[in-house]
Amino acid sequence: MLSPHDLIRPWRRATLVASLIAALELVLLLGAGAMILAKPLSHTIQRRAEVAALAPTPQAKAAVRQLATPPVGTAAPRSHTRVMVLNGNGHSGAASSAASQLQGLGYVVSGTGNAKHQNYATSVVMYRPGYRAAGERLARELHVKVVGPLDGLRPGMLQGGQLAIILGA
């Protein structure tokens, strides 16, 4: 007859064997998961490394900026610079308020009005040919980031002005 101690041993062995098989399956599953994730992960790491390696240095950015920006020249005095102010944000009275501010800075306001569209996201300073320096000075003084030659406006629409500012949101 079997003792109670002998009856327990086969269960102990079976438990150890089952635990070893489960541990082996876990290691295999982790290995398979690593192999599945390794390829996309390596591609992501490679793309980020390429972007970082090909990113321009601050010195290169400065050199490009310097080459892309031709000399500006000198701007006429503010009292000789006429500005057309157009409301492009849809807020009532924005053009007349900006015109008062410009007059306070010494500019001559040639007129105010509404822009063709009322959904400008940002303010824009535009200049007629030969008035780039004055346009950039006006943009600096009003903290406007977008400056460029007349686009979508004819010189006749400026009512004798050399610059136009379209007020955005």
The pLDDT tens digits along the chain (169 residues) read 667 666 666 677 788 889 999 999 999 999 999 889 888 888 888 888 888 888 777 776 666 555 444 445 678 888 889 999 999 988 889 999 999 999 999 999 999 998 888 888 899 999 988 899 999 999 999 999 999 888 777 777 888 889 999 998 8
Q: Is the pTM of this model over 0.85?
A: no
Q: How many domains is the chain partitioned into structurally?
A: 2
Measured over the CA atoms of residue 144, residue 145, residue 150 and residue 151, the dihedral's sign is: negative
Asked if residue 69 is part of any domain, the answer here is no
Range of the domain at 44: 4-55
pLDDT of residue 65: 57
Three-state secondary-structure class, residue 38: helix
86 with 154, same domain: the answer is: yes
91 with 51, same domain: the answer is: no
> Tokens at residue 126, please?
């535009």
Strands 82-87 and 124-127, by their bridges, are unpaired
Asked if residue 70 is part of any domain, the answer here is no
Asked if residue 67 is part of any domain, the answer here is no
Q: Alpha carbon 108 to chain centroid distance?
A: 34
Residue 94: give its domain's CATH number.
Answer: 3.30.70
